[in-house]
Amino acid sequence: MSLKDKKVLVGLTGGIACYKIPYLIRMLRKNGAEVRVVMTEGATKFITPLTLETVSDNPVAVEMFPEAKYIATRHIDWAQWPDLVFIAPATANFLGKVASGVSDDLLTTIICATPRPVMIAPAMNPQMWSNKITQRNYTTLKKLGYVFIEPDKGEMACEDYGVGRMVEPQQLFEKIKVFFQRNSKKKVLKGKKVLITAGPTREIIDPVRYISNFSSGKMGYALAEAALRLGAETTLISGPSDLIPPYGVKFEKVTSTEDLYKAVKKEFSKTDCLIMAAAPVDYTPVRKVNQKIKKTEKTMQLSLKPTVDILKRISRYKKENQIIVGFALETQNGLSNARRKLKDKHLNMIVLNQPSAETGFESDTNKVTIITSQQKKISLPLMSKEDISYRLLDHISRML
Ligand SMILES: Cc1cc2nc3c(=O)[nH]c(=O)nc-3n(C[C@H](O)[C@H](O)[C@H](O)COP(=O)(O)O)c2cc1C
């Protein structure tokens, strides 16, 4: 994808990774983007404005109150100019200031004033990144809709090892390209209501123990993000997960399979499409115990009964114009089991995945086969869960 006519405002803050940014700017410009640069005072200690002026072919702005005339409201003009504000590297200090609403220099004032999307690539020492305050600020900003390029694990300039390194310029560039590709997608789900479930459920055994599975919620959260971007009014119901719900989604958190069923049932009649990406636990203890079960030397037996079959129950209420998509995770006889589930539960589509190191629960990638109620079979190669989400929603939008 060419970036012709795209305007990117690149903001640099005071971290050693500033040295990577001229490479990024050159890539952006080679692909047709126009680039303007804003630096904090801190950033100018690591790389000169002259270097960035030269590679961006535009004046670089640093000062909030410059001597020159006729640029009095530059913080507003520059905030409105770009299609994307891209901050890299972002210091812990910068995250803290933006998360607290502080605008005490040109860059943070532009962030406050911009109506445009903001992407942030933090870079710092692992201790600084894992610091609870930094993590709180990162979470706050993510929940508010700032898009993050999470730091990598690796060796740092200070010779520490851990998570905190900014990803390489080529990867930053790819993220920017993907961002523009996704933003230019047609809003094919505009006016549609999509209900997505994600994550595992938990069945309580006693006050300190539960039955669950390895589901991380990544597939469902990626689907919710993609559905939002394609214009759908999106509801995400999630079992326990550490993931941050995408900004703009209607979000509900549940614990047990029964809770999940009740939450889905409440929303289903208002929904055009239900995607059950959650992995509800299939069995629950017959007897719930109020006190912790004491450890003994004897063998212990736990009696379990099936939990509610959400898809089967919900499909009873399905109207002609509603679509239900199920997921099947199978370790053997995948295709035949998925086909049976599709038929038994009256689904319009089923997505089969088989767990491996690169696919299934906790990974960022997956390899799925989509089977429709007309028995059409589409096998996708190994892809990111984000890319799979767009492919799936593309099929769903055509069905809707
Ligand atoms: C050599 C050196 C390297 C630094 N690298 C980083 C870094 O990678 N990440 C970070 O958050 N802070 C780093 N700092 C600290 C910031 O420069 C400092 O917090 C500064 O106040 C940030 O200001 P700014 O956010 O306005 O640019 C570094 C400081 C020095 C002296």
Instruction: Please write the tens of the pLDDT for every residue from 168-184.
Output: 999 999 999 999 988 88
Q: What was the pLDDT predicted at 355?
A: 74
Pocket residues: Cβ below 6 A from ligand 1: 13-17, 40, 42-43, 91-94, 123-124, 128
Ligand 1 center to 93 CA (angstroms):
8
What does the pLDDT look like over 147-203, one tens digit per residue? Answer: 999 999 888 777 778 889 999 999 999 999 999 988 888 999 999 999 999 999 999
| Probe residue for ligand 1, chosen from 41, 45, 62, 93 as the CB with the greatest number of ligand atoms within 8 Å | 93
Measure the CA–CA gap between 399 and 388, rounded to whole angstroms.
Answer: 17
Quick one: which of 141, 172, 73 has its CA closest to 61? 73
User: Residue 21: which pLDDT band, with cuts at 50, 70 and 90?
Assistant: very high
CATH 3.40.50.1950 fits 7-183, yes or no: yes
Measure the CA–CA gap between 237 and 278, rounded to whole angstroms.
Answer: 9
What does the pLDDT look like over 74-132, one tens digit per residue? Answer: 888 899 999 999 999 999 999 999 999 999 999 999 999 999 999 999 999 999 999 99
Collapsing DSSP to helix, strand or coil, 109 comes out as helix
Compute the chain's Rg from CA coordinates: 24
DSSP-based helix, strand, coil % in the chain, nearest 5: 35, 25, 40
- Could you tell me which residues come within 8 angstroms of residue 155 by beta carbon, excluding any fewer than 6 positions away? 161, 165
Measure the CA–CA gap between 39 and 22, rounded to whole angstroms.
Answer: 13
Q: What was the pLDDT predicted at 162?
A: 87
What does the pLDDT look like over 58-76, one tens digit per residue? Answer: 999 999 887 766 666 788 8
Ligand 1 center to 134 CA (angstroms):
13
Edge-to-edge strands, sheet with 349-353 = 250-253, 233-238, 193-198, 273-276, 323-329, 349-353, 368-372, 377-379
Measure the CA–CA gap between 156 and 159, rounded to whole angstroms.
Answer: 5
Ligand 1, atom 14, lies closest to the CA of 15
Measure the CA–CA gap between 163 and 133, rounded to whole angstroms.
Answer: 16
Ligand 1 center to 68 CA (angstroms):
28
Spell out the domain ranges in the chain: 7-183, 193-399
For tokens 């989604």, what's the residue?
249
370 backbone dihedrals φ, ψ, rounded to 5°: -100, 130
7-183 with 193-399: one CATH topology?
Answer: yes
Query: Among residues of the chain, what percentage have pLDDT more than 70?
Result: 97
Q: What was the pLDDT predicted at 106?
A: 95
Q: What was the pLDDT predicted at 359?
A: 63
Measure the CA–CA gap between 105 and 308, rounded to whole angstroms.
Answer: 56
Q: Are 335 and 369 in contact (CB under 8 A)?
A: yes
Q: Are 4 and 83 in contact (CB under 8 A)?
A: no
204 backbone dihedrals φ, ψ, rounded to 5°: -75, 130
How many residues appear in the chain?
A: 400
CA 290 → CA 6, 296, 351, distances in Å?
60, 18, 39
Q: Which amino acid is at 294?
A: K
Burial, 371: exposed, middle or buried (Cβ in 10 Å; 0-12, 13-18, 19+)? Answer: buried
The sign of the CA dihedral 331, 218, 126, 84 is: positive
Q: What was the pLDDT predicted at 357?
A: 64
| Probe residue for ligand 1, chosen from 12, 16, 63, 167 as the CB with the greatest number of ligand atoms within 8 Å | 16
Q: What architecture does CATH give domain 193-399? A: 3-Layer(aba) Sandwich (3.40)
Tell me the catalytic residues: 158
**Does position 361 have pLDDT exceeding 70, yes or no?**
no
Buried-state track 213-244, b at ≥16 Cβ within 10 A, e below 16: eebbbbbbbbbbbbbbbbbbbbbbbbbebebe
Ligand 1 center to 62 CA (angstroms):
16
- Paired residues of 132 in beta bridges: none
**Does position 45 have pLDDT exceeding 80, yes or no?**
yes
For tokens 């959650």, what's the residue?
278
